[in-house]
Amino acid sequence: MELVKVLSMLVVIDLSENRFEGEIPKVIGELKSLKSLNLSHNNLTGRIPASICLLTNLEGLDLSSNNFTGQIPEEMANLTFLSFLNLSRNNLIGRIPQGHQLDTFGNDSYKGNLRLCGVPLTKKCSDEEGSQPPPSTSLQQDDEMEHESLLNWRAISLGYACGIVYGGVMGYFLLHRGRYRARLVCLYF
């Protein structure tokens, strides 16, 4: 559902435990006065959008117990008012960004993300072993996700078109065969 007008003074959004699915829309970054965002315990997927880092007044962020993938956006280090962060129990990977408020959070903020590494976790990142994906910006990751989404829609469209063609051909043969039988019946009588 899309809201035509959202109150610009909105400071708290708590949509936890609602069984929501899909990705966080990039327009979330337009809610500049937002101080707390809780989307925990849903079935949200995809990457954490880089636009979330535009919420410069954000003090609390809880995205725990979802199915987020990819790396934590480096830009999250710019959220200087952030005093609560919970990204636990997702499928996040790579090095935890460092700087400003992100340095103040402990292991509990990241637990359950088996492929995360770096401070404050005990699992060190090993660049020499090649276990780290090559560094890329969150905006590049968003573009990659859009490209993958476009490919998915192309595949769906192609399947749909093939289904229409196949259905049309089969319908033609069935109708043609039906007309042939009707002619035989008329000739017989």
> Is there a single domain that holds both residue 184 and residue 104?
no
Residues 58 and 120 in one domain: yes
Same domain (yes/no): 64, 43:
yes
Number of domains in the chain: 2
Alpha-carbon dihedral of residues 78, 108, 89, 116, nearest 10 degrees? 60
82 and 157 co-located in one domain: no
Question: Does 118 lie in the same domain as 143?
Answer: no
How far apart are the C-alpha atoms of 119 and 106, rounded to whole Å? Answer: 9
Residue 123: per-residue pLDDT: 83
> Are 127 and 143 within one domain?
no
Same domain, 120 and 160: no
Q: What pTM was computed for the model?
A: 0.61
Map tokens 């708590």 to a residue.
14
* Residue 144 belongs to domain spanning: 136-189
**DSSP label of 38:** E
Predicted pLDDT at 130: 41
DSSP helix/strand/coil, 86 = strand
Residues 11 and 90 in one domain: yes
| pLDDT given at position 128 | 36
User: Mind listing the pLDDT tens digit for each residue in 1-41?
Assistant: 555 555 556 688 888 988 899 999 888 888 888 899 999 99
pLDDT digit string (tens) for the chain, length 189 residues: 555 555 556 688 888 988 899 999 888 888 888 899 999 999 999 999 999 889 888 899 999 999 999 999 998 888 888 899 999 999 999 999 988 788 888 889 999 988 888 888 878 887 633 444 444 455 555 555 555 555 555 656 666 566 676 666 666 666 666 655 555 455 554
Which residue is associated with the tokens 């934590």? 72
78 and 23 together in one domain: yes
**What integer pLDDT is reported at residue 158 of this predicted model?**
62
